Structure 1
Amino acid sequence: MEAAKTALIRETFSVGPLQCNCTIIGDPVTKQAIVVDPGGNPELIMARLEAHGLKVVSIIHTHAHLDHFLASGQMKEQTGATLHLHQGDQFLWDNLEMQCNMFGVPYSPVPAPDQWLKDDEELACGCGVALHTPGHTPGSMSFWFPAAKLLIAGDTLFKRGIGRTDLWGGDYATIERSIKQRLYSLDEEATVVTGHGPDTRLGDEMRENPFIRA
């Protein structure tokens, strides 16, 4: 019963024109929240936070491709939450308007990140840790919440798939190393929230992912 009371609040839903998975992680005690990859539809994200009674204090990004940031500027303006990204993706963040133009997506201005994420950094609310998992992009991050057995993998790992490496800064050997050494070393019972599409189970990917197995 006590475990149920203190379990993290987690909701994942797709947003934006490219249907990026946005995830809200909330502390049920402090009511503080992290928003991961607000890729559009800021009104929807704010409505879901309000429904859970949460206040967002930190907006964190798995990487700086356009579909993972489209609501970040508006959310920061509305909430005062800080923006976080790995510095390896600064060149992508600096060229967000160019990315939007390439894909025909309206650009909403977004300020520079407030803080660079670091490998093994503790996240806001003290409930998880950032893992540097480059390959899809140089600064790709995953977020691990051990008590909840929850992994937010962004576009690094998908259900029976992996992130593409043919975009700016992508590298197959690097993403293979990130998945094998960092992600597949975690609890195989963990639920994996992917950047797009359905959740999966880490152990299933370790054994059945056709691209990279443990």
Structure 2
Amino acid sequence: MDAARPALIRETFPVGPLQCNCTIIGDPVSKKAIVVDPGGNPETIMARLDKHGLKVVSIIHTHAHLDHFLAAGKMKELTGATLHLHQDDQFLWDGLEMQCQMFGVPYTPVPAPDRWLQDDEELACGCGVALHTPGHTPGSMSFWFADAKLLIAGDTLFRRGIGRTDLWGGDYPTIERSIRQRLYTLDEEATVITGHGPETRLGDEMRENPFVRA
């Protein structure tokens, strides 16, 4: 990493009824930012952005379960940012009302995604790449920020756990392959931001995760 370039601005905090981890990633030079998984509490997310002096240019989703995008529509309305998702999760995005009914969560309509995320696509701000890591859902994505040694894994990888595969489109062999082949090949020193709960270190999961080890 270029020593002259200041570190990315990063803040992660739980939002929404299911306490999904929402992450703000900001470029300290341009002050442009991406928001990952706005699962609720849009006022809180906006306040954190304002605190850092950041402007959102894109709202990206690790997957399309309701708890990861309940505030997406409001965030787009407030910021004008574009919504991004992998196309294989479109059926979940289209079924948000059904998901909310199943989990007893109030339904708030969201607009269609503006762009489909692609595997190995460079993210806005030029600070990271999208990795297609299916298994929890068909379109599950992780986001890798190599210079910062930071991995946003969504519900694919947790601290000593992995994402459940018993919901719509989930598949255990697929999530195992995604973790082994895409995530466990990254820097062992990386900090992993999970979809819920505490952060972890990638090398610790490679050695100690009871479900998938390197």
| TM-score bracket for this pair, using the shorter chain length | over 0.9
Q: For structure 1, list consecutive stretches of 5 or more residues without a partner in the other structure.
A: none
C-alpha separation in 1, matches of 2:46 and 2:127: 21
C-alpha separation in 2, matches of 1:103 and 1:172: 23
C-alpha separation in 2, matches of 1:50 and 1:169: 37
C-alpha separation in 2, matches of 1:59 and 1:115: 10
* Alignment RMSD: 0.9
Describe how 1:176-191 pairs up with structure 2 within 5 A: 176-191=176-191
Residue 5 (structure 1) shift: 5.6
C-alpha separation in 2, matches of 1:53 and 1:107: 31
Matching residue of 1:201: 201
Count of paired positions: 213
Query: Structure 1's 4 and 70: CA in aligned 2 closer, same or farther, altered over 3 A?
Result: farther
1:45 is aligned to 2:37: no
C-alpha separation in 1, matches of 2:168 and 2:3: 43
Question: TM (normalized to structure 1)?
Answer: 0.98
AA matched with 2:90: Q
List, as ranges, runs of 4+ consecutive aligned residues in structure 1 with deviation greater than 2 Å.
Answer: 2-5
Question: TM (normalized to structure 2)?
Answer: 0.98
Q: For residues 98-140 of structure 1, give each alpha carbon's deviation from its aligned partner in whole angstroms, at most 9, with x where no partner exists.
A: 1001101011110000000000000000000000000000000
Q: Percent identity?
A: 87
Describe how 1:52-63 pairs up with structure 2 within 5 A: 52-63=52-63
C-alpha separation in 2, matches of 1:127 and 1:151: 12
Describe how 1:114-129 pairs up with structure 2 within 5 A: 114-129=114-129
C-alpha separation in 2, matches of 1:201 and 1:20: 19
C-alpha separation in 2, matches of 1:89 and 1:109: 16
Residue 3 (structure 1) shift: 3.7
C-alpha separation in 1, matches of 2:3 and 2:71: 33
